[in-house]
Amino acid sequence: MVYESKVQAVVLAAGRGSRMTQLLGTTVPKCLVPVCGNPLVYYPLKSLEAVGFRGKDILVIIQDRDDVRRALLSIADRLGLSGLDILTVPEDSEDFGTAESIRIALSSKKITRDALLISCDTIADIPFRELFDFHEIKESELTTLFVSPLQIPENVKLPGPKSKIKQERDIVGVKPGTNNLVYMASEADCEEEVKLPVSTLKSCPHTKILTGLVDTHVYLIKNSLLNRLLAATSERNFISFKGEFMPFLIQNHFLPDFSEYTFKFYACIEPKYRCVRVNSIPSFALANKSGDWIKDVFLNGVIPKSKCKIARGSKLWGTTLGEQCVVEEKAKLTNVIAMDGVVIKAGATVEGCILSSHSIIGANSVLKECLVGPKYQIPAEGRFTNEQLSVMEEAYFGD
């Protein structure tokens, strides 16, 4: 395919998963959250590989951690993406924003061409051909991609304290016919109501607002526009790319006084394709329960077996296990999502739970619909239903 010659892919994988701290704590970086036997960052890389990107055309921005680097290199090996470019952002600082990451990449001359930005938490069957064609035809400066959200299977329940699974909707406003991007927001940013800016609507007095689609966080962006991000630093310090920089661009490119830049922003809308963004506990559960879809799209029909010790006489139903898990005798697991290094002691019964990495489930305990935090130890004979169990550390309750 021809894309790679023009476009550089930038995988944004430095996020910390601030909306799933109960699950990740400080031990697991978001890009390594296991989904159907693979770390999260595997999926965007696989998508890129499948469409012909080679290692040298891909830049991955990660936190400065050895485990992440190692995992990334092993994935690159598996996918044959040799020469993958890696940029690290400091690990110790506060949650590093996407805009900040990109800015570092730009100022260190890591991004030199037009870019395909892709977030590491996007698991989507990205319609690259449609996206690139659309981008070319419209002579777009910035193209976003909207697809349908992955349906929530009926039997998925959210562990932890009872609450309804609700996917957060993305809200996008486009000009009918041309799909010019007029407005972008996500439901989480709105309080009670959606607030449509009148200044932009006046420039586009007939606007279509779509709420049934999901923003894949895949953006095709011209290099000149990226440099605008650098240039704008003097005016404002953008932290989030989608949350701050994009709205800034969209709102301003309709204003007459911004005419020196002839921005053309578009939304590519492909409702036939599906996407799930693993950025919260419900979407994490959803992704792991959507094995069939993920398997078909990404894994050639096979979910990789993880290296686990599973004792005879244990029973596993509808369960995914991460690496290095141990399941002892007579343990019964039903609809469980276990991350790496989980130990389930003998005789434990676990139903519909998410077990975070290195948690230990005591012998003969009974857990139903619980969320077990990282390194948490369930005592033997413990009984819990619909609870969130995690080590009481302030950092975990940031949200």
Partner 1 sequence: MGKGEVEEQEDVFQAILLADNFGVSIFGSEWADKQNPGGNQFLDDDEDEGGAQNKSKEDELESGFTQESLMHLGNRKLIDYALEALTVSGVQEIYIFCSTGIRGGDALKAHIKDSRWSDLTVKIQVICSEDCQSLGDALRELDAKGMIRNDFIMMATAVITNKGLKPWLEMHRATMKNDKGAVMTLVHRVVPEGHRSRSTNSRTSVVVDASTRKILAYNERVPDKRIKVPLANIKEEMEVYLDTVDSGIAICSSSVLPLFTDNFDFANMVDFIKGILMNEEIMGNTIYVHRLEKGYANKITDFDTYLGISNDIMERWTYPLVPDMPFGSNPDDSIYSMNLNFVYKVTDVVCARNAMIGPNVIIGSKTKVQEGVQIRKSSIGNNCEIGKNVLIEHCQIGNNVKIGDGSKLCKSIVLDGSVIKAASIVGPMIILAEGQTCKIAIEDTFEKSDDEEESDDEDDFKSEDSFAPEPDNQESDTKRFCSEVLESILRAFTDNVDLDNLAVEIHGSRTANFMYFDDVPNAVVKGIIGVPLKLYPDFEQMPPKTQWDKTSEVMVRFKKLMPQYVKTEKAQKTVLQALEEHALDNAYFRPLLMKVLHYYYDIDILSQEMILNWYKTPSAYKGAAELRKMVEKLIEWLETASEESDSEEDDE
Min separation Cβ 122 and partner 1, Å: 21
Task: Count the site residues for partner 1 by CB under 8 A.
Answer: 26
Min separation Cβ 257 and partner 1, Å: 13
239 binds partner 1 (CB under 8 A): no
Min separation Cβ 176 and partner 1, Å: 7
What's the order of all strands across the beta sheet hosting 85-89?
85-89, 58-63, 7-13, 114-119, 214-221, 142-149, 265-277, 122-124
166 binds partner 1 (CB under 8 A): no
202 binds partner 1 (CB under 8 A): yes
- Give pairs for 290-296: CB < 8 Å, separation 24+: 290/36, 290/150, 290/153, 291/36, 291/320, 293/150, 294/35, 294/36, 294/43, 294/123, 295/36
258 binds partner 1 (CB under 8 A): no
274 binds partner 1 (CB under 8 A): no
The nearer residue to partner 1, 188 or 230, going by C-beta atoms, is 188
Min separation Cβ 204 and partner 1, Å: 8
Only segment of 27-35, 165-173, 350-358, 379-387 that touches partner 1 (CB under 8 A): 165-173
Beta pairing partners, 145? 268
197 binds partner 1 (CB under 8 A): yes
Only segment of 15-23, 186-194, 335-343, 345-353 that touches partner 1 (CB under 8 A): 186-194
Query: Angle at the Cα of 92 (from 86 to 98), degrees rounded to 5?
Result: 55
Only segment of 48-56, 192-200, 343-351, 358-366 that touches partner 1 (CB under 8 A): 192-200
The rounded distance, in Å, linking the Cα atoms of 48 and 58 is 8
Which are the contacts of 172, defined by CB distance < 8 A and separation ≥ 6? 144, 146, 181, 183, 184, 209, 210, 211, 213, 215, 267
Cβ distance 287 to 271 under 8 Å? no
In order of 278, 350, 358, the CA distances from 365 in angstroms are 30, 8, 17
Residue selected from 18, 167, 207, 324 as contacting partner 1 according to rule CB under 8 A: 207
Min separation Cβ 306 and partner 1, Å: 38
Binding residues for partner 1, rule: CB under 8 A, are 169, 171, 173, 176, 187, 190, 192-199, 201-202, 205-212, 236, 247
